[in-house]
Structure 1
Amino acid sequence: MEKTSGASASSSSAEHPFLDSSFEIRWSQLTPEHVGPDIERALTGAQAAIDAIASRDPAALTYENTFLALERATEPLSVAWGKVGHLQSVNDSPALRDAYNAMLPKVSAFFARIPLNAALWARLKTFAATAAAAGLRGVHKRFLDETVLDFRQQGADLPDDRRARLEALQSELAQLTQKYSENVLDATNAWQLVVEDESRLAGLPAHAKAAARRSAESKGIGAPGKPAWRFTLHQPSLEPALTYLDDDALRREIWEGFTAVGSRAPHDNTPLIPKILALRAEKAALLGKPDFAALTLERRMAKSGEKALAFLADLQARTQAAFARECRELEEFKEMRNAERGLRNEEKQTQNAAQTPAQTPATGGFVIPHSAIHNPHSAPRLAPWETGYWSEKMRKARYDFDEELLRPYFPMDRVIAGLFGVVNRVFGLQIQERAAGSVEVWHPEVKFYDMRDRAGRRVGSFYADWHPRESKRGGAWMNYLLTGGPQPDGSRAPHLGLICGNMTPPADGRPALLTHREVETIFHEFGHLMHHLLGEVEVKSLNGVNVAWDFVELPSQIMENWCWERESLDLFARHHETGAPIPEELFGKMIAAKNFRSACAMMRQLSFGKMDLLLHLRAGEFAAQGADVEAAVRPLIADCLVPTNPPAPTSVKRFNHIFADPVGYAAGYYSYKWAEVLDADAFTRFQREGIFNAATGAAFVEHILSKGNSEDPAMLFRAFMGREPELDALLKRSGLAAAA
């Protein structure tokens, strides 16, 4: 169930600001001391609404006073709790965290109890068996069927003793996963590395070096005559450090800090993981399923953990040969470069003896005897903190392409304007920023926008918060705050959503200059946002992103395609000083390098999906060990990991996607690749008909973005493409079709 305004909200908004039904949220009033009283009030109201349905005369049941009444019953609570959760993710503080954690067990228990309410379930089942229910059509038929399935999947048919246990473990799961998330955030924020010797920063791009110095200054580290540079585990600091720093020891120290997140006291997730897996396995068993994957995937496109695992295995088999080749090539490249360096050192020595070295342009001016290079098939493994560094060196050598050269062409303001231009041409959307100060926001950097369709109708509004802060969790995400859509009186209420990220911030009077990957991320999250704001589903819990998790990434991932097309890039990829577009030569190199080490990128995602599925298909084994899951899970996915010396640990202790929520992406991380098949295939229609073809964009809105979960996702895809999805488009786009 999800989010809209509640009848009791506006009357006491000053006393209970989290229950205020205003569309433009008054964030300044949403303070920690209001969390407890407001959520308690919302819980009381929601329980009363549930009790009213559960006590109705079975002879007087209707669709409106059962299923639709249930839809409305939890809306004020969901809206209020959504605001609390959002603030906890973007503006964390000890007081807010305490308030959130104090109410989390109560809210979790309340929602867990709904499908276990025997009287409520009896009323729903009774109405579902009537002729009136059989006569429902369209979205209302879908809603009834989905609700019945939800209740059964969450234990409505269990006997009383098993219902009580299910309710208890749901609450425990919520607390354990919240603690896991807190450990990741706290461990990330607790780590820093200060460098005082500037010579150690060789290779680091100027923008990253300046950011590190500003970071030190912000913490009072260093002095005007004695500067220092501070590195953190936030992505804008971490990624350039691991990619460009020449100092191997410094890269190692940063890498070790990153991979230790969630694995050391006092932020150690090691003991939490077996408990979370055990509770999920117990939940599945209580509900008659062999494992948690069987429970969660039953109503997704994959249908079962075994089918999802087979999907990943198929992609792995098609990628394995190219993956092995790419790993070997990088090892050989490093070996060759080291040999070159050794020969250059020898050449300097021989110059002193008046000897002239032999030359050839093929190796940068120096002959490299075969004996100077190890057997290419036995080149030593790279260390894990070397792979990003040598990959970038190899890409630059192979394509003469340095991604940092693209940054000046991606100032954030132009990227955002260009994104809005793309969605205007493709989907007919008009987006207007509200003047600063005209709408309250939770941080001064946050902006507020209105979105209108081709007819000028406001379909919704959204907040955007793009830069990192210590009080803000990592990554990028979209969420919704209010769900509008078609109303009973025939009108349409606007939706309200948000997008957040941790992109490179502005520096030294210059705008925020983004990497191309950051540009893709912004387009990606905006795809999710459109899915919510363009929803035309009158039943709110079926709107927008409330779809099967292996379908939800289609609207987001398809948007990334416009970040690679010359025609769309020319709308916004302009030099921040000159306004010039990306030079044709640089664009050509960018496209040529697009699929550099694409097999490694594919296998990285497959490793995450495979680890996630195996953890939940075999949860009993891991939970029973009661020890460090890392040692048990790594061998199971080793064939998907880049071989290094020493072997790199997996992400299992910092894997927020699958362990920071009672369900989240648990047993569902494969969804990214599943949806990538859909998005690559769907974009072929745009390529055929024109990437700015308004009719094609309108069809995507009609069949995908506006429909939410009002129909089966497989049917929605067929409606847009006229056929079933095909795998070839993804392999072709990734440059792996020949390998397959």
Structure 2
Amino acid sequence: MADSSFLSPDFEIRWSTLTADQVEPGVRQALTDAQAALDALATLPLDAVTYDNTFLALERATESLTLVWGKVTHLKSVADSPALREAHNKVLPEVSTFFARIALNPDLWARLRAYAESPAGQAHEGIHRRFIDETVADFRQAGADLPDAQRARLEAIQTELAQITQRYSEHVLDATNAWQIVIEDETRLAGIPAHARESARRSAASKGLGTADKPAWRFTLQMPSLEPVMVYAEDEALRRAMWSASTAVGATTEHDNRPLVPRILALRDEEAKLLGQPHFADHVLARRMAGSGQRALDFVVDLQTKAAAAFARENAELEAFKADQTGEPVGPLKAWEVMFWAEKLRRQQFDFDDEILRPYLPMNRVIGGLFTLAERVFGLRITERPAGEVEVWHEEVKFYEIRDRDDRHVGSFYADWHPRESKQGGAWMGYLITGGPQSDGSRLPHLGYILGNMTPPADGKPALLTHREVETIFHEFGHLLHHLLGEVEIKSLNGVNVAWDFVELPSQIMENWCWERESLDLFARHHETGETIPDEVFAKMIAARNFRSACATIRQVQFAKMDLLLHMQTDAFIGEPTELDAKISAAIADTMVPTEPPGRPMVYRFGHLFSGPTGYAAGYYSYKWAEVLDADAFGRFKDEGIFNADTGADFVRHILSRGNSADPAELFRAFRGRDPEVNALLERSGLLVAD
């Protein structure tokens, strides 16, 4: 048996032992063990099948492999290195092929089907009925009923998709890290907030650029560096350079995703047709709340229709504002001007600048306030383990434990909040260990992580965040709670393993507390004085909340519409990369802010769609779909009190603890008392038009 640190089942993971040379032996051993378990299941006499030796055995068979592979992929996302990347990519095809083959194993499927169709299998109720039904549906959706030749082709598609989407992801990361612009003339920094200038100076110094007497400022495509320039920099050439570089990520010769996207689309389309579906969207959405690609597209187009007039009005207003301020004729803005002039317009209309909130949003207070909110609403007590007591993968990472009202250790998690070159961009939540109720009546804790790329601390001061960064932290924490509070006996039905258009409800609902005065006062306090946000600043913040909300809505519609059209009308888009660009641009033209030059579709850097075999592919609409759910669900908190512990307990009981133990529409109705209504979202966004 292989000896690899990745095979350790320890809850408190010894990250220092998880080195690149341990990846291959660990993964290979886990693959061997998992295959042996599946082989045993697949050779059972058909008259000897039971629930334990089929469905539960299948659940147990891949647990070790899932843990090992979860550690490998997690490390690659937070501590990438050439050696780790090489080790990961070496075993990736084997792992992908293994998982693809499970549902395509006819002997395995015969045993599962034999038990599911037996009187004993039909007699199950509750969570075990759900598990059998979901597993059978998973197998059928994955191609279990296909003839041999088609099963073999499907397996090959899955393996190639895993490899090609991994390359896509690496290209985005490498292209992002490869670009920088170094400024030596301080006058070019006019308008950029002090915190961003200081971060840029420290970034330059870390690369040996500039001196104490003659500093330099280094800007990158990492969001904490990019965004302040695009919003505030008076230097148009600087904004143009960063816009050009950011929109070119994944579309340059060195890190080129242009030939990969058509191939990914073609493979997905072929997969769907092999499985009897007209296109990939219907294949993916068959068991989600939307049910079909057309219903998802209808939902997106309906939102677009409801926001269209306001979208046109907001664009015209911005063009007129710029013309008034500059004396130039009214006309489309340049693509790198939109965020810049929008911020100036917002300041004029509301006398409000997001930057005024930074001193009131120090990371430590935000995290502390979030934990206090979780205690008051959900009955949770969250404590940090002392530094050095638990191993972490980087010195900035913290480790926490969560206990509930009954003092049960429900779970633990790691938090890693700031950007590094070895860490992928964005913010996300994931899990490493699924605990929950055990068959003997005990309960084991869950283990997860929560990560981001937030503004880092500077010169002894705490990290001072934007309000949007705070929303992101609350969002990912909602995902984390969905995993850590799971009370589902079947691990594969726990937590975030739910329909993709339901999974954002627990995360997005948390963002609502970032806009309520009562909850803001828990954490939004000046990092030096401890004072809360002044009333006049809060009033302006709320007044400005829906500034250009139609543009924000249509931007999400744009991404969702592009995603669905690519996966519903694949044949119409596949071609040379230049053709793909033009076709996508034409398809989403009515969702683009009119600029000169026109904005570029983000298809070559759209990790949500193309950094995994499926991911958010044909599912990006889920964000807006779940916004309908979260806006309506939060309405109950608004009615009953945003800190109402009984309402919070109901949200845990009906949503956070239930995972995929029941149909998501049923879970929502259990909490809200009815089906969701779209007007709550439209009202919150300022887009509800009276009849």
TM-score norm. by structure 1 comes to 0.93
Q: How does 1:321-720 map to 2 (within 5 A)?
A: 321-339=309-327, 374=329, 379-624=330-575, 628-720=579-671
Which residue in 2 is equivalent to 1:252?
A: 240
> Does structure 2 retain, via aligned residues, the 8 Å contact 1:318–1:739?
no
Is residue 425–residue 694 contact of structure 1 (8 Å, CA) maintained in 2?
yes
Alpha-carbon displacement from aligned partner over 1:210-256 (angstroms, at most 9, x marks no partner): 11000000000112221110000001000001000001111101111
- 2:631 corresponds to which letter in structure 1? A
| Pairwise CA RMSD | 1.0
Measure the CA separation in 1 of the matches of 2:583 and 2:324. 36
Greater mean deviation of Cα atoms: 660-669 or 219-228: 219-228
How far the C-alpha of 1:333 sits from its partner, in A, is 0.6
* Inter-partner Cα distance in structure 1 for 2:570 and 2:18: 39
Question: In the aligned structure 2, how far is the partner of 1:237 from the partner of 1:298?
Answer: 40
* Partner-residue secondary structure (3-state), 1:162: helix
SS of match in other structure, 2:449? strand
The aligned counterpart of 1:135 is 123
Deviations 1:698-718 (A, max 9, x none): 000000000000000000000
What residue number does 2:181 align with?
193
The answer to whether structure 1 residue 271 and structure 2 residue 222 are counterparts is no
Structure 2 distance, partners of 1:648, 1:566, is 37
Q: Aligned residue for 1:94?
A: 82
What's 2:192 paired with? 204
Task: Report the residue type matching 1:422 in the other structure.
Answer: L
Shift in Å, 1:67: 0.3
Structure 2 residue 22 is the aligned partner of structure 1 residue 71: no
Deviation at 1:626, TM superposition (A): 6.5
In structure 2, distance between residues paired with 1:99 and 1:548? 32
Give 1:298-337 correspondences, 5 Å limit.
298-337=286-325
Aligned equivalent of 2:674, options 723, 726, 731: 723
Report SS of the residue matched to 1:151. helix
Q: Is the 2:164–2:260 Cα contact (8 Å) retained in structure 1?
A: yes
Q: Distance in 2 between matches of 1:201 and 1:420?
A: 37
1:230 is matched with: 218
Q: What SS does the aligned partner of 1:576 have?
A: coil
Structure 2 CA distance for aligned equivalents of residues 687 and 536 of structure 1: 27
Q: 1:51 aligned to 2:46?
A: no
1:292 maps to which residue? 280
Aligned AA (2:372): G
C-alpha contact 2:496 2:659 (8 A) present in aligned 1: yes
Alpha-carbon distance in 2 for matches of 1:703, 1:187: 43
Residue type of the alignment partner of 1:91: A
The residue number in structure 2 matching 1:241 is 229
Matched residue type, 2:588? I
Q: Distance in 2 between matches of 1:136 and 1:46?
A: 26
| Matches of 2:578 and 2:307, distance apart in 1 | 33
Q: CA deviation at 1:620?
A: 2.1
* 4+ aligned runs moved over 4 Å, structure 1: 624-628
Q: Shift of residue 103 of structure 1?
A: 0.5
Structure 1 residue identity aligned to 2:520? L
Q: Deviations over 1:601-637 (max 9, x none)?
A: 0000000000000000011222355655222111101
**Structure 1 counterpart of 2:459, which letter?**
D
Paired residue for 1:347? Answer: none
3-state secondary structure, aligned to 1:101: helix
Find the residue that maps to 1:555 and give its secondary structure.
Answer: helix
Match of 2:138 among 147, 150, 165: 150
Task: Give SS of 1:633's match.
Answer: helix
Report deviation, 1:650. Answer: 1.0
Between 1:224-233 and 1:706-715, the stretch displaced more is 224-233
Secondary structure at the aligned position of 1:464 is classed as: strand
Query: Matched residues in 1 for 2:550 and 2:583: separation?
Result: 25
**In structure 2, C-alpha distance between the alignment counterparts of 1:67 and 1:240, rounded to whole Å:** 52
**Distance (Å, rounded) in 1 between the aligned partners of 2:581 and 2:508:** 30
Mark the CA change 1:127 to 1:527 in structure 2 (over 3 Å): closer, same or farther.
same
Contact 1:79/1:481 (CA < 8 Å) preserved in 2? yes
- The answer to whether the Cα contact below 8 Å between 1:433 and 1:447 also exists between their aligned partners in 2 is yes
Classify the secondary structure of the residue corresponding to 2:357. helix
* In structure 2, distance between residues paired with 1:63 and 1:465: 41
Letter in 1 for 2:502: F
Alpha-carbon distance in structure 2 between the residues aligned to 1:240 and 1:53: 56
Q: Deviations over 1:524-554 (max 9, x none)?
A: 0000000000000000000000000000000
Instruction: State the SS of the aligned residue for 1:289.
Output: coil
Q: Residue 523 of structure 2 aligns to a residue in which SS?
A: coil
**1:28 and 2:16 aligned:** yes
Query: Residue type matched to 2:289 in 1?
Result: M
| 1:16 and 2:7 correspond | no
Distance 1:618 1:636 in 2: 11
Question: In percent, how many aligned pairs have the same letter?
Answer: 67
Structure 2 Cα separation of the partners of residues 245 and 592 of structure 1 = 25
Partner of 1:110: 98
2:158 is aligned to 170
Contact preservation (8 Å) 1:321, 1:739: no
- Residue 80 of structure 1 corresponds to 68
**3-state SS of paired residue (1:496):** strand
CA contact (8 A) 2:258 2:577 kept: no
Q: In structure 2, how many angstroms separate the alpha carbons of the residues matched to 1:630 and 1:128?
A: 47
Q: Does residue 1:735 correspond to 2:686, yes or no?
A: yes
- For residue 417 of structure 1, report the CA deviation from its aligned partner: 0.1
Letter in 1 for 2:102: I
SS in 2 for 1:710: coil
* Letter matched to residue 83 of structure 1: K
Q: Residue 541 of structure 1: SS of its match in structure 2?
A: helix
Structure 2 unaligned runs (5+)?
none
Farther off after superposition, 219-228 or 161-170: 219-228
Amino acid at match of 1:228: A
Q: Which ranges in structure 1 are unaligned for 5 or more consecutive residues? A: 1-7, 340-372
The alignment status of 1:217 with 2:205, answered yes or no, reads yes
Look at both structures and tell me which one has the larger radius of gyration over its CA atoms. 1
CA shift in 2, pair 1:141/1:637, >3 Å: same
Tell me the secondary structure at the aligned position of residue 499 of structure 1. Answer: strand
Decide whether the 8 Å contact of 1:271 with 1:627 is kept in 2. Answer: no
C-alpha displacement of 1:733: 0.2
Distance 1:402 1:107 in 2: 49
CA distance in 2, matches of 1:38, 1:453: 35
State the secondary structure of the residue aligned to 2:604.
coil
User: Do the aligned residues in 1 keep the contact of 2:322 with 2:341 (CA within 8 Å)?
Assistant: yes
Map of 1:359 onto structure 2: none
Amino acid at match of 1:238: L
